[in-house]
């Protein structure tokens, strides 16, 4: 019954594992490109695309998963509504953050260049870029926690759902300290690992249950 949710959770898991790989790969993040701001550095935009696509793959399934659980009336109405709203907000804020990030990169790394050539002004302010990038993780965390509560009602093991609740609460609790080095270097990777494990476990559980039901 919840096989579509399983496939969407698998997409989240795949995106999470890709993000983890990108985090430890300097070349994949374009850090190997030297840019002295006297020549065109637009390659940075392209080599960073996998990171932003994987991030979108991590967050975007929140909306169809929420809709699927809503259609199947998993959980009370207020819980279904809250899950859908937090998922939609997370996706919208991430889209704004991505546009703002590419606006900044275009302004800084795409010509014309020269020592006395003024760079193109950014269309979106620094406040929009930094605020939107800091805002989508707590909304995604809230969605994970609420979705985990819903999935318990759909017979997902409490141990799996508990991981989602813990990661979700941690994402909300640490959001005011997102600029701290301890959070970015230690807490954020740990949250990503646990979120990826959570999505992987949900995908395996729901798709395995589908296979058992189909062969019964």
Q: List, for residues 166-204, the tens digit of each pLDDT value.
A: 999 999 999 988 888 888 888 999 999 999 999 999 999
| pTM of the shown model | 0.87
Per-residue pLDDT reduced to its tens digit, 30-76: 555 666 666 667 777 888 889 999 999 999 999 999 999 999 999 89
Among 71, 69, 94, 91, which Cα is nearest to 161's? Answer: 69
Across the range 154-168, mean pLDDT stands at: 94
DSSP-derived secondary structure letter, 33: -
Q: Which residue has the higher pLDDT, 108 or 171?
A: 171
Residue 216 confidence (pLDDT): 47
Contact by Cβ (8 Å): 179, 196: no
Residue 85: count other Cβ atoms within 10 Å of its Cβ: 15
Mean pLDDT across the stretch 124-143? Answer: 93
Q: Domain extents for the chain?
A: 3-30+44-88+129-215
- State the Cα torsion 132-170-79-148 to the nearest 10°: 120
Whole-number Å distance between alpha carbons of 83 and 121: 38
């Amino acid at each position: 019954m919840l096989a579509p949710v399983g496939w969407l959770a698998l997409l989240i898991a795949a995106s999470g594992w890709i993000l983890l790989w990108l985090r430890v790969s300097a070349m994949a993040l374009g850090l190997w490109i030297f840019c002295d701001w006297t020549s065109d550095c637009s390659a940075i935009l392209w080599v960073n695309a996998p990171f932003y696509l994987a991030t979108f793959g991590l967050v975007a399934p929140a909306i169809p998963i929420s809709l699927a659980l809503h259609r199947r009336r998993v959980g009370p109405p207020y819980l279904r509504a809250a899950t859908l709203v937090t998922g939609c907000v997370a996706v919208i804020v991430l889209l704004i953050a991505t546009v703002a990030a590419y606006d900044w990169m275009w302004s800084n790394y795409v010509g014309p260049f020269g020592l006395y050539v003024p760079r193109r002004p950014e269309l979106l302010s620094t406040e929009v870029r930094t605020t939107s990038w800091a805002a989508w993780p707590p909304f995604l965390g809230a969605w994970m926690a609420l979705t985990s509560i819903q999935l318990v009602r759909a017979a997902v093991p409490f141990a799996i759902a508990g991981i989602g609740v813990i990661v979700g609460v941690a994402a909300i609790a640490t959001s005011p300290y997102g600029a701290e080095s301890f959070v970015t270097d230690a807490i954020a990777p740990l949250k990503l690992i646990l979120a990826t494990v959570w999505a992987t476990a949900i995908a395996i559980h729901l798709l395995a249950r589908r296979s058992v039901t189909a062969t019964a």
